[in-house]
A and B are shown apart, each in its own frame.
Chain A
Amino acid sequence: MTIIIWIIQLIFVPTVSPLCIGVIKKIKAKFQNRQGASIFQPYKDLWKLFHKDEVISKDASWIFRVAPFIIFTITIIVGASIPLFASFLENNITSDFLFIVYALAIGTFFLALAGMDTGSAFGGFGSSREMTMSALAEGGLIFSLLTVSLPRGDSNLFAISGSNIVSETQFFLPIMLSFIGFFIVLLAETARFPFDNPATHLELTMIHEAMILEYSGKKLALMEWASANKFLIFVGLGSNLFLPFGLAQTADIKQIMMGISFLVIKMFVFCLAIAIIESSMAKYRFFRLPDILLISFILNAVAIGFIK
């Protein structure tokens, strides 16, 4: 039984993550009065890319070639180390919240290096912007995870999601504050509005798309897949640490099914929220972004101050 649950936990993020992207695209299309592609389109795109030939720049080094594998591997490991639908799974070795933050930083590091590797102006600027954003988002990210870890003194993400602290009145306010802070970081780290435009191919504004501009074929598929995984990882963290409802507490088939359906509902709510944000507001000017990220950090610092 436990083995089956672990297998579901391991493959959940990579199998479901393209669906999230598809759902967001569908909702956005509806907002624009379009029919939109099927929500399964991202799977078809990945399949198509995996079967294409590749073009690699002659300036690229081995960093460019190994980066997609490293980034993808990191998202798989992190995806298996966060609570998704069950909080009783005890993963002691890779679920420390600081570990998750720094493991994700490995992905960012190689993504930015791969962007610089081909020597294109777009890639370089994409890397510079990405590193600026992620450096400033780091404070908010660590502090928001710290806020939920403080009440019980737990650093393990499964333990945090199992303790259900948000239902205690004294912790409700700080955790909601830090949830807002976390949501801002989520938008920044997953390259969403108002930080980045995931649909753009306009060179002047893009961040994430600029870094992967030179990729094609299988490596592009891996990059796209990894960024979908990263999106689902952040959604999973947001929904299960700050709003830990419906997670399976024991290895019971009914509870597991409930956990999965709760997760799917929460994922849908997150996708809806992001699609609404993307459809209703403009991307911010680059130098306004630090202000929002600083708000995230300050909200979290205040939240920590509230926790006694």
Chain B
Amino acid sequence: MINMIASPSSFIFLLICLMVGAIGSLLLRKYDDIANKWSGIFGIIGSLWGIIFSISAITIGNNQSFTLGESGFQFLSLSFNIDALSAFFIFVISLIALFCSIYGIGYVKHFYKKYDIGALGFFYHLFLVGMLLVVSASNGIFFLIAWEIMSIASYFLVVYDRNDEQNVKAGFLYLLMTHVGTAFIISAFILLYKFTGSFDFEVIKANVGLIPLFVKDIIFVLAMIGFGTKAGIIPFHIWLPAAHPAAPSHVSGLMSGVMIKTGIYMMIRIFLEILQPVPAWWGLAVLVVGAVSALIGVLYALTEHDIKRLLAYHSIENIGIILLGLGSSLMFSSMNMPSLALLGFVATLFHTLNHATFKSLLFLSAGSVINATHTRNMEEYGGLIKYMPYTAFFFLIGSMAISALPPFNGFFSEWLTFQSLFEGIKLLDFPQKWIFISAAGSLAFTGGLALACFVKAFGSTFLARPRSEEVMHAKESSFSLKLAMGGIAVLALLFGVFSGPMISFIKKIGENLAIFKNAPALLSASTQGVGLENGTAYVSGPAFFIIFIIVAFIAVIFVKYLINKNQKIKIGATWDCGTDLTPRMEITSTGFARSIILIFKGLLKPSIQYEIDYQDSESRYLQKSMNVTLGVEDVNNSYIYKPLQKFINALSVKAKKIQGGNINAYILYIFAALIITLFLAL
């Protein structure tokens, strides 16, 4: 039975199911409601099937290699290879897609009569198919096609709400950056082809010894930039905070939760499997990239007051944390310490899964807030906990999970990441040791700053008094939205409390990779908790959860009922110093983060501009009104992208000289090009 579920035909069935969802909703586009339900139901069926398929594939543990017919092209073969690693990513994609599809059924309603619902369903399913193909393709060209399907489908989802000009702009930036990234990936594949003579991953892996070392290094840099652009590492992240907020919220959840992880998947596939053995500096480079992305990502998140942009910056931060695990894993694998490398690898995959759950939870609850208030600006929220209690509760759980507070899942994967960095500090010498120390320091500060950022996000969105009219008319979201958010919130808790079984499950996936085959056990995980064998590091999710509930219960009984039962509680006004307390006196999200921004002013370059209108423009004593604009400059923009843009513009001006518009000249160019090509060919 289980063999049948995990068979190639079952995977094909999964793809067909999603394609039926795609084409069906396109055919039904005349009827908004039916198209939406069709898309949602096929999304749910497909992702449920994906979850069952991937779990059975991991349980069986053998590779599923198969090819779909002849493509008719020389280099392209439609070949798949689903090993445990692919199956794990199929699991993550299906899991998040399940809840996003449920959410979509209710959420998409506000697009009715405004946009084409059929097109949304079509691209949504195409996007899912693209991601599934990306993590299962085993031929370079086929992979690139899948990669493009994923990118283009998500581009159309980003620009779906096209009446907002900002979204169209964001979509263009996304399209541009993703293709710059693809260009790097293509170059990496061409280099691989040149030295191994094949685009097939298996053949490349077998012939990896033919690649000279410096070419390997070049491939590493190209792949790091190419896949890093998709993953959103700094400084290739600029599309991410623009594109993720623009998409409809359930798509943002998928993009932030899952799509950027396909970049991580390919990094694992290429660095930890195909190109093994690797030089030590790769691991260190990945660590540095991860440390920088984590710290800078969270700092930029603090500066945001657009709730979805804030979450998008946190994706960059979490990609950084994932890369810290991956970097230490690479480092240890190059030093031939497979059990430590396995520790880093498990941290990478577990944080990938955890980030997918809590980030999509946060995006879905942010979407629920935006749906009710029609703005993304956190300065106009406030007090929403009274109007949307469920959404607030789910957002709180997401915030606690992403801030790595136990017993939620984020804590356990960050704990593993910390452990693998600590092992590096213990074992290595100068100078590698200091890179591990800086990485651990960056992770420590990132944790603290993320906590501050989510106090800001939750506090200024849901607490205190409403700061705009919109909030007072806000209503709790419909059932399907609550169901989706509640489902992931429960998962965020369960993955934390049962982190032991989850980690041993992920460990099994790692042991399928060649480099971890004979790794001596270092990480021990059981239902009770997770620990390392070589020391006393041990954490237990269920124990803390149970102890916390018991102690809290005793404290409540003790305080409420044993001491002074007849206490009266009066409802009064907040202390207002004798003035009228207005919502303007609350702290805003800008105000909350201002002190941290000023502390890091060397990096964030905060600016303040005054525009003052005077009663009498000559005497300039009495002000009529004053506009204060607080801003933060993006260092990447001003030091990397602006100079680059200037350079390209200058180059284009030069190129204009040979493009005079004279057709005779153009014919001459073609002729010259032909002659040169002929000579080269001979």
By a beta-carbon cutoff of 8 Å, the part of chain A in contact with chain B is 50-59, 61-63, 69-70, 72-74, 76-77, 92-94, 96, 98-99, 102-103, 105-106, 108-109, 112-113, 116-122, 124-125, 127-129, 131-132, 134-139, 141-143, 146, 149-150, 152-156, 159, 213-214, 217-218, 222, 286-287, 290, 297, 301, 304-305
Q: A287 and B598: CB pair below 8 A?
A: yes
A1 to B460, CA, bound (A): 51
Cross-chain pairs A/B with CB under 8 angstroms, 5 sampled: A63-B463, A73-B548, A146-B440, A154-B535, A222-B555
Q: Which of B323-360 contact A (CB under 8 A)?
A: none
Choose one: A102, A135, A214; the contact of B452 (CB below 8 Å).
A135
Q: B563 and A290: CB pair below 8 A?
A: no
B596 contacts which chain A residues (CB < 8 A)? 131-132, 135
Q: B403 and A105: CB pair below 8 A?
A: yes
**Shortest beta-carbon distance from B476 to chain A in Å:** 14
Q: A69 and B451: CB pair below 8 A?
A: no
Q: A135 and B449: CB pair below 8 A?
A: yes
> Is B404 interfacial (CB-CB < 8 Å)?
yes
Contact with A along B433-466 (1 / 0, CB 8 A): 1100100110011011101101110111011110
Q: A156 and B537: CB pair below 8 A?
A: yes
A117 to B574, CA, bound (A): 10
A214 contacts which chain B residues (CB < 8 A)? 574-575
Choose one: B531, B544, B568; the contact of A94 (CB below 8 Å).
B544
Q: Which residue of B lies closest to A90 (CB)?
A: B536
A290 to B449, CA, bound (A): 13
**Shortest beta-carbon distance from A59 to chain B in Å:** 5
Q: Which residue of B lies closest to A96 (CB)?
A: B539
Q: Which of B529-562 contact A (CB under 8 A)?
A: 529, 531-532, 534-540, 543-544, 547-548, 551-552, 555-556, 559
A-B pairs under 8 A by CB, number: 255
A94 contacts which chain B residues (CB < 8 A)? 540, 543-544, 547
Q: A131 and B452: CB pair below 8 A?
A: yes
| Contacts known (A69-B552, A146-B422); A128 close to B385, Cβ less than 8 A | no
| Contacts known (A116-B463, A155-B536, A214-B574); A109 close to B400, Cβ less than 8 A | yes
Q: A127 and B537: CB pair below 8 A?
A: no
Interface residue stretch chosen among B229-237, B280-288, B586-594:
B586-594
Q: B563 and A218: CB pair below 8 A?
A: yes
**Shortest beta-carbon distance from B292 to chain A in Å:** 16
Q: Which residue of A lies closest to B460 (CB)?
A: A116
Q: B459 and A93: CB pair below 8 A?
A: no
Q: Which residue of B lies closest to A146 (CB)?
A: B422
By a beta-carbon cutoff of 8 Å, the part of chain B in contact with chain A is 382-383, 385-386, 396, 400, 403-406, 411, 415, 418, 422, 425-426, 433-434, 437, 440-441, 444-445, 447-449, 451-452, 454-456, 458-460, 462-465, 528-529, 531-532, 534-540, 543-544, 547-548, 551-552, 555-556, 559, 563-564, 567-576, 581, 583, 585-587, 591-596, 598-599
A1 to B396, CA, bound (A): 43
Q: A105 and B405: CB pair below 8 A?
A: yes
Q: A136 and B406: CB pair below 8 A?
A: no
B595 contacts which chain A residues (CB < 8 A)? 128-129, 132, 286-287
A69 to B558, CA, bound (A): 11
A108 to B586, CA, bound (A): 20
Q: B455 and A102: CB pair below 8 A?
A: no
B528 contacts which chain A residues (CB < 8 A)? 93
Choose one: A50, A155, A218; the contact of B538 (CB below 8 Å).
A155
Name the prevailing secondary structure of the A interface residues.
Answer: helix
Q: B451 and A155: CB pair below 8 A?
A: no
Q: Which 10 pairs between the two chains have the least Cβ-Cβ distance?
A: A124-B587, A138-B448, A119-B464, A135-B448, A156-B536, A155-B537, A116-B459, A131-B452, A93-B543, A153-B535
Q: Which residue of A lies closest to B429 (CB)?
A: A308
A218 to B539, CA, bound (A): 33
Q: A118 and B535: CB pair below 8 A?
A: no
| Contacts known (A92-B538, A103-B406); A57 close to B437, Cβ less than 8 A | no
**Shortest beta-carbon distance from B3 to chain A in Å:** 39
B448 contacts which chain A residues (CB < 8 A)? 105, 134-139
Choose one: A93, A105, A146, A213; the contact of B544 (CB below 8 Å).
A93
**Shortest beta-carbon distance from A105 to chain B in Å:** 6
A301 to B463, CA, bound (A): 38
A93 to B537, CA, bound (A): 10
Q: A132 and B459: CB pair below 8 A?
A: no
**Shortest beta-carbon distance from B61 to chain A in Å:** 31
Q: A103 and B544: CB pair below 8 A?
A: yes
**Shortest beta-carbon distance from A138 to chain B in Å:** 3
Q: A305 and B434: CB pair below 8 A?
A: yes
A70 to B531, CA, bound (A): 27
**Shortest beta-carbon distance from B467 to chain A in Å:** 10
Choose one: B455, B538, B563, B569; the contact of A96 (CB below 8 Å).
B538
Q: A217 and B415: CB pair below 8 A?
A: no
A305 contacts which chain B residues (CB < 8 A)? 433-434, 437
Q: B555 and A73: CB pair below 8 A?
A: yes
Q: A99 and B586: CB pair below 8 A?
A: no
Choose one: A61, A155, A156; the contact of B386 (CB below 8 Å).
A61
**Shortest beta-carbon distance from B339 to chain A in Å:** 15
B383 contacts which chain A residues (CB < 8 A)? 59, 119
Q: B567 and A54: CB pair below 8 A?
A: yes
**Shortest beta-carbon distance from A302 to chain B in Å:** 10
Q: A109 and B405: CB pair below 8 A?
A: yes
Q: Which residue of A lies closest to B399 (CB)?
A: A109
Q: A127 and B587: CB pair below 8 A?
A: yes
Choose one: A106, A117, A119, A135; the contact of B581 (CB below 8 Å).
A119
A59 to B567, CA, bound (A): 21
B454 contacts which chain A residues (CB < 8 A)? 109
Q: B547 and A55: CB pair below 8 A?
A: no
Q: Which residue of B lies closest to A122 (CB)?
A: B575
A110 to B535, CA, bound (A): 32
Q: A301 and B574: CB pair below 8 A?
A: no
A141 to B238, CA, bound (A): 33
Q: Which residue of B lies closest to A111 (CB)?
A: B455
B540 contacts which chain A residues (CB < 8 A)? 92-94
A186 to B383, CA, bound (A): 34
Choose one: A55, A113, A125; the contact of B587 (CB below 8 Å).
A125
A119 contacts which chain B residues (CB < 8 A)? 382-383, 463-465, 574, 581, 583, 585-586
Q: Which residue of A lies closest to B552 (CB)?
A: A73
B564 contacts which chain A residues (CB < 8 A)? 50-51, 218
Q: B548 and A77: CB pair below 8 A?
A: yes
**Shortest beta-carbon distance from B389 to chain A in Å:** 8
A134 to B598, CA, bound (A): 16
Q: Which residue of B lies closest to A64 (CB)?
A: B463
Q: A69 and B529: CB pair below 8 A?
A: no
**Shortest beta-carbon distance from A110 to chain B in Å:** 9
| Contacts known (A73-B552, A116-B463, A134-B451); A102 close to B406, Cβ less than 8 A | yes
